[in-house]
Amino acid sequence: MAAVTWTDGGAREDAVATGVRGPIVATALLFAANGAVFGAIVPRLPDLKDALDLGPAAFGLAMACYPAGALVGGLLTPALMRRRSDGAVAVAAMIAASAIVALVGFSPALAVFAGLLLLFGLCDAITDVSMNAHGIRVQSRHGRSLINRFHAVWSLGAALGAAGGSVAAGVGTPVVLQMIAAGVASTVAALAAFPLRLGPPGAEHGSGRGARPRTPARATGRTLLLLAALGLMACCAAIVEDFAQTWSALYLREVAAAGAGLAGLGFIAVQGMQLVGRLTGDRLVEGVGAAHVGRMGGACVVAGSGAALVASFALDGPVLVAALLVGSALAGWGIATIIPGAMVAADSVPGLAPGTGLAVLNWVIRLGFLASPPVVGLIAEHAGMRWTVAPLIVGGVLIALMAGPLLGRADRAPVDRARPAGH
């Protein structure tokens, strides 16, 4: 039998695409499971609050345990990935998170509920960092941008999980049963991903495929400054997400006098266009580069949020509602590729162990999620609800200014395009 040679570029691309198909599926399963289990619990939080007879202060204290656990989990992840591969860590953490969610419905007291949320936040952050690290390695091996599509799968999983939770709540399904079902489904997805994942990075380096060699070095001040800048830019996108989740319904009701049936459309507009932006984002990034897409995204956030602010003074009635929804959709599209792009750039920072840049970025983003609600609340209290979109406008300006020098790192991140020289 004649030896197989790789003189034909198309044949080699087909072989690499075939070899990476399993890891792509594994990554998509992890992102979908992580989004679904997160989305499933959100609609049942009022039921859990009522079942434990918690007041607003006690409930808020318990909910604060989730981001607290996530901050710890983000810091632990690099050490875990040095002992085991990112894919194995992601699967194990996803299974643990699924088990915790299944137990949440059994919480007999506030302390147990808060403790489970703390553990869920810890496991969720470990899953987040490690599955993104795995996804970036898969993207590097594939030679084409995939990270935005992976995040689109997360958004789709979260939407489906939230829809399932809403339906379950609407028909009176006990929280315990729904949480067990969500946990089992996510566990099955994670277990299915395990045999399809990439092996440890060292094995790939030895094979010469998909390699992204790192030279260990101590983090310099410039490295830390770069990660802080990437974190700030990602936080600017996170503010838009948090506003949609926390404030958009209130904004529509108080500023536009929208009815309860319309108040949720702001969140849907942001999430829907974010999903569209992530599904199409990889092609845009490949075509014009992450930096240019980021600048366009920042401009869209400024335009959408600015339009909402101006409309809140100039319009009223259904026209105002329509203007606010269009502005929300534009801002949602604008941030779609910012956090995935920042993750690729953070993972390409030289001199850091694999996953360290991602862990630091994840930690800073979660700090942003912690800080955003009280800042917006202070603006609403002292300046009025109309002005709560002001941080979004500032964030959009910062994204547009920072995307060029920062997301340009994602454009330069090493990939194995599996093509002979000259193609």
* pLDDT confidence of residue 310: 96
> What's the pLDDT at 117?
92
Contact 295, 411 (CB under 8 A): no
How high is the pLDDT of residue 417? 39
Res 47: pLDDT = 84
User: 346 is written with which tokens?
Assistant: 């953070």
For 96, residues 6+ apart whose C-beta sits below 8 A from its C-beta are 119, 123
pLDDT at 411: 57
pLDDT at 10: 47
pLDDT of residue 218: 58
The model's pTM is 0.76
pLDDT of residue 309: 96
What CA–CA distance (Å, rounded) separates 315 from 10? 56
SS (H, E, C) 354-406: CCHHHHHHHHHHHHHHHHHHHHHHHHHHHHCHHHHHHHHHHHHHHHHHHHHHH
Q: What is the pLDDT of residue 17?
A: 55
Return the CATH class of domain 221-412: mainly alpha
Which letter does DSSP use for residue 176 in this model?
H
What is the predicted pLDDT for the residue at 327? 96
Instruction: Evaluate whether 19-207 and 221-412 have a shared fold.
Output: yes
pLDDT recorded at residue 183: 94
CA distances from 347 to 93, 99, 226, 358 (A): 20, 29, 11, 6
Cβ-defined contacts of 203-207 (< 8 Å, 24+): 204/137, 204/141
Helix locations, 105-200, DSSP H:
110-142, 147-170, 175-193
For each of the chain's 423 residues, which pLDDT tens digit applies? 333 333 344 444 444 455 788 999 999 999 999 989 988 887 788 788 888 998 867 887 888 888 889 889 988 988 899 888 899 999 999 999 999 999 998 988 899 999 999 999 999 999 999 999 999 999 888 888 898 899 999 888 888 888 888 788 888 889 999 999 999 999 999 999 999 998 887 644 444 444 444 545 556 778 888 888 999 999 999 999 888 877 887 888 889 888 766 766 787 888 889 889 999 988 898 888 889 999 999 999 999 999 999 999 999 889 999 999 999 999 999 999 999 889 888 888 877 777 788 888 888 888 887 788 788 888 888 898 899 999 999 999 999 999 988 887 555 554 443 333 333
pLDDT of 18 reads 55
Q: Would you state the pLDDT for residue 219?
A: 60
Q: What is the pLDDT of residue 370?
A: 78
Domain ranges of the chain: 19-207, 221-412
Confidence at residue 11, expressed as pLDDT on a 0 to 100 scale: 44
> What's the fold here for domain 19-207?
Growth Hormone; Chain: A; (1.20.1250)
What's the token pair of residue 28?
A: 């998509």
Q: What is the pLDDT of residue 368?
A: 81
**Cβ atoms 145, 139 nearer than 8 A:** yes
Residue 2 is predicted with a pLDDT of: 39
pLDDT at residue 319, rounded to an integer: 94
